[in-house]
Amino acid sequence: MKLDFRQRIKQGPILCDGAMGTLLDLYEYNELPHEIQNVKNPDIVERIHREYIEAGAEIIQTNTFSGNRWRLSQFHHEDKIAEINKAGVEIARRAAGDSVYVAGSVGPTGKLLEPIGKLKLQQARDAFKQQIEVLLKAGVDLLILETFVSLTELDEAISAAKELTKIPIVAQKAFPEDGAILSGTFPVEVVEHIMSRGVDVVGANCTVGPQRMFSIIRSMYKDGIALSAQPAAGIPTLLNGRSIYHTTPEYLAQYAKELLQAGVTLVGACCGSTPAHIRAIKNVMEELKERGPDIKAKETASQKKDKGRKEKLVVETQIEFDSRSRFARNIGKKFLTTVELDIPRGLDISSLIEGARYLQQYGIDAINITDGARARLRMSSIAISYQIQSQVGIEAMTHIATRDRNMIGLQAELLGAHALGLRNILCITGDPTNIGDYPQATSVFDVDSPGLIRAVKSMNEGKDLIGNTIEQKASFLIACAVNAMADNMDAEMEKLEKKIEAGVDIAFTQPIYDMKTLEQLIKRTDKWKIPVMLGLLPLRSYKHAEFLHNEIPGMTIPEAIRKKMHAAGDKGADVGIEIAVSLLSEAKLEVAGAYLLPAFKKYDIVPKILEGIGILEEEKRRRG
């Protein structure tokens, strides 16, 4: 008979099993999700459990990692949650008998949780509860919550488990970070946070191989805490769509020895591992049986020196200069002006450079560069922004859309933009691809604009979207869009509130044509005290007004303005400027600045509008 698990882990290290999916693939039971084999081929799952037990595993994990409703729904098996999880436990119990612990394996939902994604925290918790209830009823000895990259999601899984049971809980985070993460306090902070939730064992699993896992565990070590470590068998290569791992049992066992000496209580392996890997670890454990942990995570003298040097550098950097953009520093100090340029197709951006140079002489503060507006193929907004800043010397307001890049790509672009000296980012969701040049292309939308805003804000705090360090803080100005003439203004304000909560600094309106609309917007946004840039798209003709009103999503031209443009006849362009000047003159004291969108590359209308409201004279006086 086995001891109570909590008593067992006080007696010394305990060996867990290895990968289930790897073995199922090896035996050519590779239908996804692997958990479906609990129902279709229970004998092969039981065989794998027995192989791990024969190799020396004292804990086997149920084949239920993807057994929550969100994961199973990807394969249209959400109606089999109870069947799959119950069968997973029953199979493991048959193999385990009375001497081996059966751990209910619970993995993440595979979805992005709010506020980054759309899955609500309560929805995630409910899904975990639904799965864990089945695992408990079927008779698991403990729960292993594993491979959680997001601490927020792991919190929800722990909460779900704690609401349902008092059995032991092992909580494991996946650390996909590079080595830089290990120089800070993040791993220890993770351990302290998870342990504060009342779990029995905390640790790391998957995503990294044995050597990196050892480094992570050393960084996580803290006296009095039971640690777990289940590294992957290295980094896989793809062969005919299948992941092939290359780490040998001997190599993994070598680092298992290091992990045990570093104070790990629960050791095992993850993706790519086999019973041979577990057997090799068992042999190491036998060798160390009479020895306790002989090394603890200590901060070496060189690490302290490096840490001190970094802290000093951060302080000196903060003292020496303000790394924000000129635009950011001038919000509230002057009336700001930005102009959106028309981005051509192809490689020739000479017209953009010429336009930026022309506008620079009139004191324009920034040039807005769109990111594939209307889902049309155009050069990267980051590349164009860099060219304008480097060749002209005027700052760019770089639009970035979430449509074309996943979470990794978006954050990589942001890091690249910062490295190139771009500091002003306007975050947008973007138009769907089906209205653009390539309607068959895939729209990504991993996150929407609030999610992107949150990512930029996180970088300003020195972290990525899920809290991993990026070593130093970015200094982005974060802008967003708001439509003052949306069909449903309540919904539009809810969206704006989410953007503000995510960390936005300033809002750019869609084009507005009357003071009443602006006043209503300012009234509704006053509680947030967010600066507003007034969008102005000067009309060229009645035909232009009708096109914008009837054919462009999000654009509304008041009937009185359209009638005025109709009456203007061939003087439409002049009347369009008059309308813009009149509105801006009245709105000047209510907004942070003007966001001008001259149509058809008619950049010469910009100085006419600014002169009409006295901005050019003010700029001349300011420059002395």
DSSP 122-133: HHHHHHHHHHHH
Judgement on whether residues 269 and 357 belong to the same structural domain of the protein: no
Segment 608-624, tens digit of pLDDT: 999 999 887 776 666 66
Tell me which of 301, 319, 350 is where a domain ends: 301
292 and 343 inside one domain:
no
Q: What is the reported pLDDT for 182?
A: 54
The residue to which tokens 């068959």 are assigned = 440
Residue numbers of the domain that contains 457: 336-623
Q: Is residue 247 part of a domain?
A: yes
User: What confidence score (pLDDT) does residue 293 get?
Assistant: 45
CATH of the domain at 56: 3.20.20.330
Separation of alpha carbons 249 and 232, rounded Å: 11
Give kind and range of the element (H or E) at residue 358. Answer: helix 350-360
3-state secondary structure of 324: coil
Q: Domain for residue 312, yes or no?
A: no
Using alpha carbons, select from 101, 93, 100 the residue that is nearest to residue 38.
93
Q: Going edge to edge, which strands form the sheet with 14-15? A: 14-15, 264-267, 227-230, 201-205, 169-173, 142-148, 101-106, 59-61
Q: Percent of the chain having pLDDT more than 90?
A: 76
DSSP state of 503: T
Domain shared by 216 and 268, yes or no: yes
Residue 319 domain-assigned? no
Distance from C-alpha of 607 to C-alpha of 360, rounded to nearest angstrom: 11
Specify if 308 maps to a domain. Answer: no
Tell me the whole-structure pTM to 2 decimals.
0.77
**In a shared domain, residues 218 and 92:** yes
Q: Return d(Cα 470, Cα 473) in angstroms, integer.
A: 7
Q: Are residues 91 and 230 in the same domain?
A: yes
Q: Is residue 118 part of a domain?
A: yes
- The residues facing 267 across adjacent strands are 15, 229
Supply the pLDDT for residue 152: 92
Q: Under a CB-based contact definition with an 8 Å cutoff, are residues 17 and 61 in contact?
A: yes
Q: How many domains does the chain have?
A: 2
Q: Is residue 327 part of a domain?
A: no
Determine the pLDDT at residue 239. Answer: 66
| 213 in the same domain as 359 | no
Residues of the chain under the 50 pLDDT cut: 179-180, 293, 295-320
3-state DSSP of 589-617:
CCCCEEEECCHHHCCCHHHHHHHHCCHHH
Please give the pLDDT value at position 132. 98
The answer to whether residues 387 and 289 belong to one domain is no
| DSSP H/E element including 396 | strand 395-401
CB 297 within 8 A of CB 284: no
Question: Within this chain, do residues 406 and 475 fall inside the same structural domain, yes or no?
Answer: yes
In this prediction, residue 298 carries a pLDDT of 42
Q: Are residues 413 and 529 in the same domain?
A: yes
pLDDT at residue 319 in the model = 36
Cβ burial, residue 355 (10 Å; 0-12/13-18/19+)? buried
Question: Is residue 318 domain-resident?
Answer: no
